[in-house]
Amino acid sequence: MEPASVELAPSRPGWLQLRSPFMAAAGCLGYVAEGAGSVDLSLFGAAVTRGTSVTARPGAPPPRMVEAAAGVIWSLGHHNPGIDHVIERLAPRWARLGVPVVLNLWAASAAEASALAERADGVPGVAALELDLSAHDARRASALMAAARDKTEMPILAKVSVVGYHLPDVARALEDGGADAITCGSGLPASAGQGPIDEPALGDRDGAMLSGPAIRPVVMRAVAELAGRITVPIIGCGGVTDLSDALAYLAAGARAVQVGTAMLAEPNLPARLALEYHAHLSRQAVGRSAPPGVGDF
């Protein structure tokens, strides 16, 4: 499947070579190893872990997710066991999976971003880092990016929201600060309203986010807006359910695509997309090589 391979950190050749453009978005396979037995990771381009902070966090009170008309509304509260547990107990398993595992990092400050990047630097099994900046304003996002870059030469993907600031300016600042790629898209702020018997539908209403097909047009526009304005690869992340969605992101300027909410229903979706994309490229190659008139009816 070499024709579908993707280099996601061109300034660091060979560090983050994907066999296909289709990645599991942050947390959709948990910490990846636990989902290895139920999906074909050999066909995934990469898998991004759940967000990891300096210390363990209990997360938001339940319920944490409710169904929406075209997606889900969720509020997880950054539930995770902390960076030391992840590096010591989980990273050794990633080294044996045969797929690039990208460690997603959640930091509330530049000091935390620095500590997380330093702890993950050079750890076997960690192919790259994804710094979740989607909850931060432009100034703070740039500061966190600079702090992380100062502690590691590993590829860093900067994950940004598509709302709340002028995205091209933020993306250029992150690129200047050392980001190897921009993950464009995260959940959009939302409200789940009230549940049964007037109880809140979510345990933490303040951090609620919408993801799934409903946000795809918004993220697609953001990807197209960034294309041509930054030189690092763009990763589209939002609402992909089938190959046509993924192809639309690639046509808009994305180098790779992260699959998220749809994996709740089909955990192996990135693998299926990889196979369908390979067949798509093969059909295109046959069409280009066919003599004039062949296939014209």
pLDDT at residue 297, rounded to an integer: 30
pLDDT at residue 61, rounded to an integer: 85
Q: pTM for this structure?
A: 0.93
pLDDT, averaged in runs of 10, over the chain (297 residues): 82 95 96 91 97 94 88 90 98 96 97 98 98 91 97 98 91 96 94 63 79 97 96 98 98 98 96 97 80 45
Q: 3.20.20.70, 3.40.50.300, 3.10.180.10, 3.30.1490.190: which CATH number matches 2-289? A: 3.20.20.70
pLDDT at residue 286, rounded to an integer: 84
pLDDT at residue 183, rounded to an integer: 98
3-state secondary structure the chain: CHHHCEECCCCCCCCCEECCCEEECCCCCCCCHHHCCCCCHHHCCEEECCCECCCCECCCCCCCEEEECCEEEECCCCCECCHHHHHHHHHHHHCCCCCCEEEEECCCCHHHHHHHHHHHCCCCCCCEEEEECCCCCHHHHHHHHHHHHCCCCCCEEEEECCCCCCHHHHHHHHHHCCCCEEEECCCEECCCCECHHHCECCCCCCCCEEECHHHHHHHHHHHHHHECCECCCEEEECCCCCHHHHHHHHHHCCCEEEECHHHHCCCCHHHHHHHHHHHHHHHHHHHHHCCCCCCCC
pLDDT at residue 295, rounded to an integer: 38
Q: Where are the domains of the chain?
A: 2-289
